[in-house]
Chain A
């Protein structure tokens, strides 16, 4: 299955992926309109400093511990993608606690969680972080 991978050697720590993620999931068609004066809640986060940095998003584990831990049945695996059902999620944050990568986070309203679904859940269709990475550090590929 194709997943998002990050090569820290080429990650510049520019944080563009975070903004592309926030835009892709905003439902808007214009980035400036979507993100101006807005605090973003991206599903990918750049960690590190100026020397070594890398973007972290859901690994879509083969045997995801978040899915196992979900008390509401809101997390499931669909075609390899760990998917969240917003209507079922009760916002207990158990998945946030168990995720070893810190790749699950509260949704902006705090009532549910959110996570990367490889842009299958928005109009973008392909991972926006990958498409917008200026240095080819984030890739979407089979490994």
Chain B
């Protein structure tokens, strides 16, 4: 073995006064950082394996552990950061592409934090959601162009295209069974049902145990077509065609063969141990016309009872692409920003491809309005929604609802250590190892997801009330409720908002 050029990224600090050598850290670390030395009766650690997932810190009964950034450093250089040097060393050693997980961690601008919300003062009353009606319900799907009345003069409602009914404008975004565990899927499915919203199967098919959650399930059809069959399409409340994913626009998914075991192999309908490689494009879609064929094939297969979602990554020409999709027969467009998460992506693609969801969403909403086709589709924005204020800002920019993925995983215990690709998730989320999967008890996880979304719902109602708005419908695309801070004219123009003070 040659020289290991890389230095550990984090350091395990153990307080010897507090450590009782109970060995919980050792038993809980799938990366085998901690070990017990019987000679001294003390715990030891091997930092080089630490991914800073905080499992040991969270479970240490005496709070004897903390993980700190290792301040061992190469010679400081503004051009060649420690990270840049370390990546070169890793690639020089392995000859491989760098892989990463979860969302883009680089310090690109976060436009959510450069937009501020309005509130009513004197001239228009604010609304107290605890005392007055406040509607967070919304419907996703194509809306009719005009009102039709029956012979009695009543508005007809029996001729509407299929709609998804959401009690709260938040859905759980696509995360496949395979990328995340059975227990994580169970949490999402049960929470979606309890909250009156939807979770998304991702491209890994639907486990037979979860067909019972079908009315709260969006089933995905991706380029690999894993696990897609008639029963699957019929099981869901809506069908999502995944064209792209915000974390890795332009490339397909790759679930290593080691994860294709047992139920995952059966659910995906591929042999055990074979790599599940989704092609970069759908090989039957090379134009909007082709997309239209798939949209209508899926509608035909499900007797026009289910809305069809087309999910795309936010890329440079997103507005024009969305305009095409809105004419393809799709009912809903999901746009995934460049910060969205993933179970594994090439680092360079995750960190450098795509555009911010805030700009993409505003551009798409404006374009569809200009072309008078906004009612053809509903818009779901995803990829970086961190809190209820982001949800409110997204809706004010023009979204009908938002997808949350990373936030949902955080609620389940994810600590964003961004090493999902290793399959050794100490929190039982992004792993298929049975001893790790059982660390996520679905009774606890479901409750935590319900708590999170319920808390956000209360906050959304408070913020809407403050603005004098009593329904999601009245907030949608209401960009007068937003003001920019520290944004230049170009950014304000794209976002379609005024600067603070205007």
* Contacts from A to B (Cβ < 8 Å): 9-10, 12-16, 18-20, 23, 31-32, 35-38, 50-51, 132, 134-137
> Which residues 51-76 in B have Cβ within 8 Å of A in the complex?
58-59, 61-62, 64
Give A38's nearest chain B residue, CB to CB.
Answer: B20
A51-B434, A51-B435, A134-B59 are known contacts. Are A15 and B441 too (CB-CB below 8 A)?
A: no
Residue from B17, B20, B441 within 8 A of A10 (CB atoms): B441
Residues of A close to B443: CB separation below 8 A: 136
Q: Specify which chain B residues have a CB less than 8 angstroms from the CB of A16 in the assembled complex.
A: 22, 24, 59, 61
Does A14 lie within 8 Å of B59, measured CB to CB? Answer: yes
On chain A, the residues within 8 Å of B20 by CB distance are: 19, 31-32, 35-38
Knowing A16-B22, A36-B20, the reply to whether A31 touches B62 (Cβ < 8 A) is yes
B444 at interface by CB-CB < 8 Å:
yes
**Interchain pairs with CB closer than 8 A, number:** 61
B28's contact among A9, A14, A136, by CB below 8 Å, is which? A14
- The CA-CA distance from A18 to B21 in the complex, in Å, is 13
Complex: A132 Cα to B28 Cα, angstroms: 15
Interface size class of B (residues with CB under 8 A): 20 to 34
Per the bound structure, the CA–CA distance linking A9 and B443 in Å amounts to 12
B438 at the binding interface (Cβ < 8 Å):
yes
* Bound CA span A10–B441, Å: 6
Whether B62 pairs with A9 at a CB distance below 8 angstroms is no
Residue B23, interface by CB 8 Å? yes
Which residues of the other chain, B, contact A19 by a CB distance below 8 angstroms? 20, 22, 24, 61
The answer to whether A37 touches B41 (Cβ under 8 A) is: yes
**Which residue from chain B places its CB closest to the CB of A13 in the assembled complex?**
B27
Which of chain B's residues has its CB closest to A133's CB? B441
Seen from chain B, the residues whose Cβ lies within 8 Å of a Cβ on chain A are 17-20, 22-24, 27-28, 41, 58-59, 61-62, 64, 434-435, 438-439, 441, 443-444
Q: Contact: A12 with B61, CB < 8 Å?
A: no
Who on chain B is nearest to A9 by CB? B438
A15 to B23, Cβ gap below 8 A? yes
Question: Inside 8 A of B438's CB, which chain A residues have their CB?
Answer: 9-10, 12, 135
A-B contact pairs, 29 of them (CB 8 A): A9-B438, A10-B438, A10-B441, A12-B27, A12-B28, A12-B438, A12-B439, A14-B27, A14-B28, A15-B24, A16-B24, A16-B59, A19-B20, A23-B61, A31-B61, A32-B17, A32-B18, A32-B20, A32-B64, A35-B62, A36-B18, A37-B20, A50-B435, A132-B61, A134-B58, A135-B441, A136-B441, A136-B444, A137-B441
CB distance from A85 to the nearest CB of B (A): 30
- How distant is the Cα of A10 from the Cα of B438 in the complex, in angstroms? 6
Min C-beta distance of B65 to chain A, whole Å: 12
A15 to B27, CA, bound (A): 9
| Measured CA separation A31–B62 after assembly (Å) | 6
CA A137 to CA B434, docked complex, whole Å: 16
Residue of A nearest to B435 (CB): A50
Closest Cβ–Cβ distance, residue A72 to chain B (whole Å): 34
Residue in A closest to B58 when the chains form the complex, CB atoms? A134
Bound CA–CA A13/B434 (angstroms): 13
List chain A residues, Cβ under 8 A from B434. 51
Nearest first, the 4 closest Cβ-Cβ pairs linking A and B are A35-B20, A32-B18, A32-B62, A19-B22
State A20–B439 Cα separation when bound (angstroms): 19
